[in-house]
Amino acid sequence: MTIQIAVIDFPASNCNLDAVHVLNNVINVKADLVWHNHFKETNYDGVVLPGGFSFGDYLRAGIIAAHSPAIDEARVMLKDGRPIIGICNGFQILTEAQFLPGALLQNESLKFVCKWVNLKV
């Protein structure tokens, strides 16, 4: 049986083609780039939510994508125990869709901070 992975493409996603390339050519699993409105969970064994700025992150990071039909499909996959990974903005989408506990918070300084932190999931 060949594993099929969907890389979901939202408006303003990026690194989506990189994810497809790595899955197909490095990890050697079949990966498809799937527009968010066309994703059907029955066709895939796992899903990748790539980085970027889904829907422009106009309200807050990931919130609009969290209400996409693709996330409803991914929720079925979650219940079935199929793997889902969110990279960068994809992680924010998973948090906003409540696939992961907790919430995203603003930095106390309200300024960009770039440093390593430990995260327990």
Please, what is the Cα angle at 21 between 91 and 79, to 5 degrees?
40
Is residue 121, in this structure, part of any structural domain at all?
Answer: no
Which pLDDT value is given to residue 60?
76
Read off the pTM: 0.86
Instruction: Give the CATH number of the domain where residue 29 resides.
Output: 3.40.50.880
Q: What is the pLDDT of residues 32-45, one digit of tens each?
A: 999 999 999 999 99
Q: 38 in a domain, yes or no?
A: yes
Domain of 13, in residue numbers: 4-96
Could you read off the pLDDT of 34-93 as tens digits, one per residue?
999 999 999 999 999 999 888 887 777 788 999 999 999 999 999 999 999 999 999 999
Indicate the number of domains in the chain. Answer: 1
Flag whether 81 is in a domain. yes
Question: Which residue type does 18 have?
Answer: D
Confirm whether 110 is domain-assigned: no
Q: Is 68 a member of any domain?
A: yes
Within a domain: 116: no
- Residue 115 domain-assigned (yes or no): no
Q: Which two tokens stand for residue 24?
A: 């197909």
**Residues 71, 100: Cα–Cα separation, whole Å:** 13
Residue 104 pLDDT = 80
